[in-house]
């Protein structure tokens, strides 16, 4: 154990040389031609998102450099084609489940049962605790590529390509809507026995920068969800949802739009303010009560049918409803 001495000669706190050093994250942001001449702070706001002006200023001071060595200032003009370099200590990450069950495996694809709480990719909060990182650790010699996205709090079937050829094939299959997805959603109230929600969606201009909503007439992206009720409770319903399009938060926004938000949905069932508090503070007992007593939203990717990249024959993979949602429903009063 060493003890450093401050400039004023005072003994500083002891330094444990054996203490693990935090890994340094290195990210490079190439500047596209359409951003040439932008202020550096404006470029980072677009590239990273969900950052306050104060936080962007701090990041520029402490973590940003230009590849050519010039000094980075908020007002610095970025140049087309250059790299903006970010170097920062890896975050102290919240604990998440880092294991998953394999539902199907062959030489082309891997279908896993993603647990709720495991994020897909790197964010401001997560570096090692992501599905992408776990796949790299478990399959270090394979070019694993996640074929589609589901929200961090959503559980269930997720498809991963094991080869570049399979990844390319599945990208086209999803784009051409050749993949059929079925979700199970526990919603509030008593929705109709079945229905079709045809409601274009758009990203809303809000503080969180992730909130979607119904688009103004003649604008937005087409979004269609078919649903049917599979079980009713006194004040809830378990619905099978079939999204015909794949918009961000589509099922959650659509059910909220018809007056039946998902149980535990922080953003569309509670409020954006409470959602942002949960992001900053975690789900406290007070917030948990506001989120219907469920730490995550009640959405589960139940079934996925896709053309197999090698055989082209449709393959269906099913994930049973997650145990936490089964337990939650067990306590709901029946009709």
Reference 101, options 33, 156, 176, 142; nearest CA is 156
The Cα 325–Cα 300 span in angstroms is 9
The number of angstroms, rounded, from the C-alpha of 270 to the middle of its chain's C-alpha atoms is: 19
The 10s digit of each residue's pLDDT in 288-300 is 999 999 999 999 9
The number of angstroms, rounded, from the C-alpha of 333 to the middle of its chain's C-alpha atoms is: 32
The Cα 258–Cα 226 span in angstroms is 13
The Cα 126–Cα 123 span in angstroms is 5
Give the Å distances, CA to CA, from 258 to 198, 199, 245, 263: 11, 10, 18, 14
The Cα 124–Cα 50 span in angstroms is 9
* 297 neighbors 156 (Cβ within 8 angstroms): no
Catalytic machinery residues? 151
Is CATH 3.40.50.970 what the domain over 23-89 is classified as, yes or no?
A: no
pLDDT at 209: 82
Within 194-263, strands assigned E span: 194-198, 201-203, 212-214, 224-232, 236-243
> For the chain, which residues score pLDDT lower than 50?
1-20
Output the furthest CA–CA distance in the chain (Å, rounded): 76
Domain boundaries, the chain: 23-89, 101-330
Percent helix / strand / coil, the chain, rounded to 5:
25, 30, 45
Dihedrals phi, psi of 325, to nearest 5 degrees = -75, -35
* Annotation: CATH topology of 101-330: Pseudouridine synthase (3.30.2350)
What is the DSSP-derived secondary structure letter of residue 268?
A: I
pLDDT at 15: 37
pLDDT at 14: 43
């Amino acid at each position: 154990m060493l003890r450093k001495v401050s400039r004023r000669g005072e003994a500083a706190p002891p330094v444990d040389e054996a203490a693990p050093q935090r890994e340094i994250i290195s990210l490079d942001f190439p500047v596209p031609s359409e951003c040439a001449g932008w202020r550096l702070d404006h470029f980072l706001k677009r590239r990273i998102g969900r950052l306050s002006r104060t936080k962007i200023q701090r990041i520029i001071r402490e973590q940003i450099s230009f590849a050519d060595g010039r000094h980075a200032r908020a007002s610095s003009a970025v140049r087309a084609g250059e790299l903006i370099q970010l170097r920062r200590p890896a975050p102290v990450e919240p604990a998440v489940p880092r294991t998953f069950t394999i539902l199907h495996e062959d030489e082309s694809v891997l279908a896993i049962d993603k647990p709720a709480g495991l994020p897909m990719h790197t964010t401001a909060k997560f570096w090692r605790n992501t599905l992408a990182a776990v796949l790299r650790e478990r399959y270090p010699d394979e070019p694993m590529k996640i074929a589609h996205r589901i929200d961090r709090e959503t559980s269930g079937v997720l498809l991963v390509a094991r080869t570049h050829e399979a990844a390319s094939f599945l990208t086209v299959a999803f784009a051409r809507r050749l993949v059929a997805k079925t979700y199970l959603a526990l919603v509030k109230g008593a929705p109709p026995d079945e229905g079709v929600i045809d409601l274009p969606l758009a990203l809303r201009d809000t503080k969180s920068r992730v909130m979607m909503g119904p688009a103004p007439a003649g604008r937005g992206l087409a979004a269609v969800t078919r649903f049917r009720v599979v079980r009713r409770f006194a004040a809830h319903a378990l619905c099978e949802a079939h999204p015909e399009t794949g918009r961000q938060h589509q099922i959650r926004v659509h059910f909220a739009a018809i007056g039946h938000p998902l149980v535990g949905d922080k953003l569309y069932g509670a409020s954006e303010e409470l959602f942002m508090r949960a992001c900053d503070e975690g789900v406290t007992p007070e917030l948990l009560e506001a989120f219907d007593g469920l730490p995550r939203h009640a959405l589960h990717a139940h079934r996925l049918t896709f053309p197999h990249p090698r055989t082209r024959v449709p393959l269906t993979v099913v994930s049973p409803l997650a145990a936490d949602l089964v337990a939650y429903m067990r306590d709901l009063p029946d009709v």
